[in-house]
């Protein structure tokens, strides 16, 4: 109960932040006329669909236009276009919160649906697979390499990894992705250059999962290469000062194995800032996944964002993805709040 109350307070606080961000988003959409254009496009789509249906039964053009004009007026009243955007503010907030943003203009879900919610939820697992795999690999490499380097400051290995970290941090994800395609797809021919499945795709089962993993190798390798260098350096810097403290020296003097010293006396103390960098780095990598997913034609939210912006902009998809990205960031923040309690017993919330 002592932990539940402060965590509940933090959760309510983050939900409040979510609503503030959502409110600012909706106000921006309304004040710039974006909301009116969004709803107007929805009305236009429904009127066009009605025109196609009625044109087969009503031969008189004047009568058809009269019926369509009446229907347009009814739809504008239904969506609130006959009122100012301020009056529509509560309803718009609720629509964005539930992703009830009507239908997309050109994009479809994997099942053929045009509903915005169906399209976004179809792409979310694909992005989660990509980023979660990258997170696990980056965490393992960063923790192992960074903690060991903290006890070898100034060595040749330390200098080499420092150079690699600088190069990795400065290297654009899109450039690394193109380089990986040139090497592993066109030069060596051992990995596919893009997509999520082969053509034709394997049947459901282990073969289909293996084909998915094969196509995920290049995008995961790209994201790992541009993120693992900075994370190794961050872990090395955070653990360097801890490795020089008295309790670490005392543990070594007692004859403890270096692995136990590293795990119990160095990583445990430096765990909160290390986990903070890892979790927030995952949330920040959502922006980089837009370019990587586009280059590798990975059908996730990043590629969906690109498709919604390129060509004919699909405003409803853009709004929905912006809200989902904000929700994922706040979810990462709450996970941090929970982890702090278990990683550092000294932490006490008031």
Per-residue pLDDT of the chain (350 residues; tens, 9 = 90+): 466 766 777 777 777 777 777 777 777 777 777 777 777 777 777 788 778 777 777 777 777 788 888 888 888 777 777 777 777 777 777 777 777 777 777 788 888 888 888 888 888 888 888 888 888 888 888 888 887 777 777 788 888 888 888 888 888 888 888 999 999 988 888 888 888 888 787 877 788 888 888 898 999 999 888 888 888 888 888 787 777 777 777 877 887 777 777 777 777 777 777 777 777 776 666 666 788 888 898 888 888 888 888 766 677 788 888 888 878 777 777 777 777 777 766 555 44
Q: Dmax of the chain from CA atoms? A: 97
* pLDDT for res 127: 87
DSSP-derived letter for residue 115 is: B
Compute the distance between CA of residue 60 and CA of residue 322 in angstroms, rounded to an integer.
Answer: 45
* pLDDT for res 311: 65
pTM of the model: 0.75
DSSP-derived letter for residue 1 is: -
Residues 6+ apart with CB under 8 A from 290: 302, 303, 305, 306
Compute the distance between CA of residue 268 and CA of residue 234 in angstroms, rounded to an integer.
Answer: 15
Q: What are phi and psi of 340, to 5 degrees?
A: -55, -40
By C-alpha distance, which of 132, 77, 123 is closest to 99? 123
**CATH 1.10.3720.10 intervals, the chain:** 122-343
By C-alpha distance, which of 29, 11, 172 is closest to 96? 29
By C-alpha distance, which of 67, 91, 66, 90 is closest to 78? 91
* pLDDT for res 350: 47
145-148 LR contacts (CB < 8 Å, sep 24+): 145/232, 145/235, 145/236, 146/231, 146/232, 146/233, 146/234, 146/235, 146/236, 146/238, 146/239, 147/235, 147/236, 147/239, 147/262, 147/266, 147/267, 148/262
DSSP SS3 for 103 = strand
Helices and strands, number each (H, E), in the chain: 13, 0
Residues 122-343, CATH architecture: Orthogonal Bundle (1.10)
* pLDDT for res 321: 83
Compute the distance between CA of residue 225 and CA of residue 237 in angstroms, rounded to an integer.
Answer: 19
């Amino acid at each position: 109960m002592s932990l539940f109350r402060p965590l509940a307070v933090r959760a309510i606080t983050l939900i409040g932040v979510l609503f503030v961000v959502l409110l600012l988003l909706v106000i921006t959409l309304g004040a710039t006329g974006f909301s009116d254009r969004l709803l107007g496009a929805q009305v236009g789509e429904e009127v066009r669909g009605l025109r196609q249906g009625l044109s087969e039964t009503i031969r008189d053009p004047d009568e058809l236009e009269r019926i369509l004009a009446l229907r347009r007026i009814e739809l504008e009243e239904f969506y609130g276009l006959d009122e100012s955007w301020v009056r529509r503010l509560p309803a718009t907030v609720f629509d964005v919160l539930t992703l009830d943003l009507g239908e997309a203009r050109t994009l479809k879900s994997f099942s053929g649906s045009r509903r915005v919610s169906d399209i976004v939820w179809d792409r979310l697992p694909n992005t989660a697979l990509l980023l979660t795999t990258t997170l696990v690999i980056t965490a393992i490499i960063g923790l192992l390499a960074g903690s060991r380097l903290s006890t070898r400051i100034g060595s040749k290995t330390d200098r080499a990894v420092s150079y690699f970290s600088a190069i990795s941090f400065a290297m654009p994800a899109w450039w690394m992705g193109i380089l990986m395609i040139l090497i592993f797809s066109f030069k060596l021919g051992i990995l596919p250059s893009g997509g999520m499945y082969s053509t034709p795709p394997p049947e459901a089962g282990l073969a289909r999962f293996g084909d998915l993993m094969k196509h995920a190798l290049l995008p995961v390798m790209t994201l790992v290469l541009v993120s693992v260098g900075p994370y190794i350096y961050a872990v090395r810097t955070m653990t360097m000062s801890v490795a020089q403290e008295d309790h670490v020296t005392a543990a070594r003097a007692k004859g403890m194995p270096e692995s136990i010293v590293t795990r119990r006396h160095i990583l445990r103390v430096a765990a909160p800032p290390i986990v903070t960098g890892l979790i927030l780095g995952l949330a920040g990598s959502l922006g980089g996944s837009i370019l990587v997913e586009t280059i590798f034609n990975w059908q996730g939210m990043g590629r969906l964002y690109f498709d919604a912006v390129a060509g004919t902009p699909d405003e409803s998809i853009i709004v929905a993805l912006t809200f989902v990205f904000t929700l994922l960031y706040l979810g990462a923040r709450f996970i941090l709040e929970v982890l702090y309690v278990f990683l550092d017993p000294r932490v006490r919330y008031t």
